[in-house]
Amino acid sequence: MYAAPYLTVHLFPENTKGLSEIYNSVIEKSIGNAPSMMVFAHDDIHILDFCWMQAIFNGLNIYGIVGVVGNKRRVPLQASWAFIDSQLNWDESANLSGIIGHGSGFPPENFSFFGPPFQEVKLLDGVLLAAFSETLISKSLRFDENFKFHFYDMDFCRQAELRGVSMGTIPLSLVHESGGNFGSESWSAAYNDYVKKWGE
């Protein structure tokens, strides 16, 4: 990842708090400061694009929130941006958007092309989410701290939709080391909480 001189990085090594809590802490710190472009990302990704900040900036001039992969629709009881139910059945490829690599470096061990990027979506994967600070502050948009890791991104997208904030995918060279922990006990508990909160 290319570190520009105007880039401020907030790292949380050996973190034991939920992602929602630490992401919100950074949003709160931005209040009253100069407007900024905020990027929330997992610690196990490799950004391979020298112009990654420009790519995100370009996306945010079209959408209120951007990510690398997402779903153009949302259905009842959906269990992730890509899976339509708790049995982890994939949605149809026509509804998916974005590109991401998987592995520990470059070249990636696996490459997933879900569909053309620069598509408006209803749900984004939380591996990387970005928005202008002004958008989050003016819309009172925060991450629900009841979701420590699983479903924080789904919930965030639902909140954005209610507030009229558009979402879309962008083309960005990114490799993710983890494939997620779908179906685990903690994931199932978070899914139940998510369904209780939203009613479907």
Bridge partners for 64 per DSSP = none
pLDDT value of position 184: 85
Per the CB < 8 A criterion, the answer to whether 169 and 114 are in contact is no
The per-residue pLDDT for range 169-185, each reduced to its tens digit, is: 999 999 999 776 777 89
pLDDT value of position 155: 98
- Shortest CA distance to 124 belongs to which of 46, 199, 70? 70
Q: Which residues of the chain have pLDDT under 50?
A: none
Per the CB < 8 A criterion, the answer to whether 174 and 125 are in contact is no
Per the CB < 8 A criterion, the answer to whether 9 and 3 are in contact is yes
For the chain, the structural domain boundaries read: 19-198
pLDDT value of position 40: 96
Tell me if residue 173 falls in helix, strand or coil: coil
CATH topology of domain 19-198: Spore Coat Polysaccharide Biosynthesis Protein SpsA; Chain A (3.90.550)
